[in-house]
Amino acid sequence: MVLLLNREDVISVLDMTDCIDMLEKAFTEMANGTAVLPLRINIKPPGGISLYMPAYLQEMNALACKVVTVYKDNPKDHNMPTTIGKVLLQDSKTGEVICIMDGGYLTAVRTGAVSGLATKFLAREDEEQVVSIFGAGAQAKMQLWAMCEVRDVSRALVHDKFPEAAEKFAKEMSEKLDIPVEVCDDMGQLLNADLICTATSSPTPIFDGSKVKAGAHINGIGSHSPGARELDTQIIKRSLLIADSREACLNEAGDIMMPVEEGAITPDHIHADLGEIVVGSREARASPEQITLFKSNGLAIQDTATAKLVYDLAREEGIGKDVDI
């Protein structure tokens, strides 16, 4: 039997804190060499990009492949989300497919959760931190949720090139998280935050990195192709740079590849993979003034670990529909 889980099923069992904990285990496996993680395969049909992302986590007994598409004009042209995906989970002992689940919400939660994990290990631990969120789309919401799970967030600012998107975000997220969320177009205020998440669809830098306040922690999650960057060379140079995966950053992330091509940094400017920070084999933040920057491309281990979590919870709670195929 194959268990089918739709978006509502996934939403009903998947919690941000559980996902952050699960990803901590997945990144530990990556650092310890028990994760198998090929670089994702990309196909570019007109108007979008289709990504095939398999991974295996030995300690977790988790084997899965996600197919995810990013079509920037979907909201405008088809009233559909930019990012859509499905995950196919296998029994790692027999290879049999045991579950097919919607991957849209799962992707947003695991993308928030990896930023939560990076923030937990890299950001200062002061009370009453201010968060700036760039972009007000599906991913941005989960970024703010994750920040609130790992730090004492007193206030959030949101900026989007479409003010109505930012207004909607502020209303929805202030109610969900019970903190003040304000629309903000003042770059000075936005870059004076303690925690900054960039989650836009912009292919070009969205702020002047020389203006980011000392001691800030940044999660850069939006761009993940060689020709696109949300972050400028300045902020990459100024930061202690942590990658989800060095290999992915040097092959997929314009944010990192372009400063390397410009000769502004060398690949060894990437201080560590997140897994190395999690297991303590590389040092995290060195001082309260240091700027730390986590660059996320999105790894298949995140999807695989999260899909396993969702499947186990769904089976426990009797959620979903079994089909014989």
Ligand X SMILES: NC(=O)c1ccc[n+]([C@@H]2O[C@H](COP(=O)([O-])OP(=O)(O)OC[C@H]3O[C@@H](n4cnc5c(N)ncnc54)[C@H](O)[C@@H]3O)[C@@H](O)[C@H]2O)c1
**Contact residues for ligand X (CB under 6 A)?**
70, 75, 82-83, 107, 111, 134-140, 159-162, 165, 199-202, 206, 221-224, 296-298
From the CB of 288, what's the least distance to ligand X, in Å?
A: 27
Residue with the closest Cβ to ligand X? Answer: 137
From the CB of 111, what's the least distance to ligand X, in Å?
A: 4
Cβ proximity to ligand X: between 3 and 166 the closer is 166
Strand 49-57 relative to strand 35-36: parallel, antiparallel, unpaired?
antiparallel
Cβ proximity to ligand X: between 3 and 84 the closer is 84
Do 219 and 296 form a contact (C-beta atoms < 8 A)?
yes
Cβ proximity to ligand X: between 26 and 138 the closer is 138
Query: Which tokens belong to 198?
Result: 């960039």
From the CB of 224, what's the least distance to ligand X, in Å?
A: 5
From the CB of 207, what's the least distance to ligand X, in Å?
A: 9
Do 181 and 173 form a contact (C-beta atoms < 8 A)?
yes
Cβ proximity to ligand X: between 222 and 320 the closer is 222
Rounded Cα gap, residues 188 and 301, in angstroms: 36
Do 179 and 148 form a contact (C-beta atoms < 8 A)?
yes
From the CB of 188, what's the least distance to ligand X, in Å?
A: 16
Do 82 and 106 form a contact (C-beta atoms < 8 A)?
no
Cβ proximity to ligand X: between 29 and 252 the closer is 252
From the CB of 300, what's the least distance to ligand X, in Å?
A: 10
From the CB of 126, what's the least distance to ligand X, in Å?
A: 26
Rounded Cα gap, residues 46 and 54, in angstroms: 24
In degrees to the nearest 10, what's the CA dihedral of 43, 44, 45, 49? 90
From the CB of 141, what's the least distance to ligand X, in Å?
A: 8
User: At a CB cut-off of 8 Å and minimum separation 6, what does 175 contact?
Assistant: none
Cβ proximity to ligand X: between 9 and 230 the closer is 230
Count CB-CB contacts under 10 A for residue 45.
Answer: 9
From the CB of 251, what's the least distance to ligand X, in Å?
A: 14
Cβ proximity to ligand X: between 75 and 215 the closer is 75
Paired strand residues for 130: 155
Q: Where are the beta strands (DSSP E) in the chain?
A: 2-5, 35-36, 41-43, 49-57, 62-70, 83-90, 97-102, 129-134, 153-159, 181-183, 195-198, 217-220, 239-243, 270-273, 291-295, 321-323
Query: Which tokens belong to 68?
Result: 């995810």
> Helices (H), strands (E): how many in the chain?
12, 16
For residue 72, the 8-state DSSP code is: T
Cβ proximity to ligand X: between 186 and 283 the closer is 186
Cβ proximity to ligand X: between 112 and 320 the closer is 112
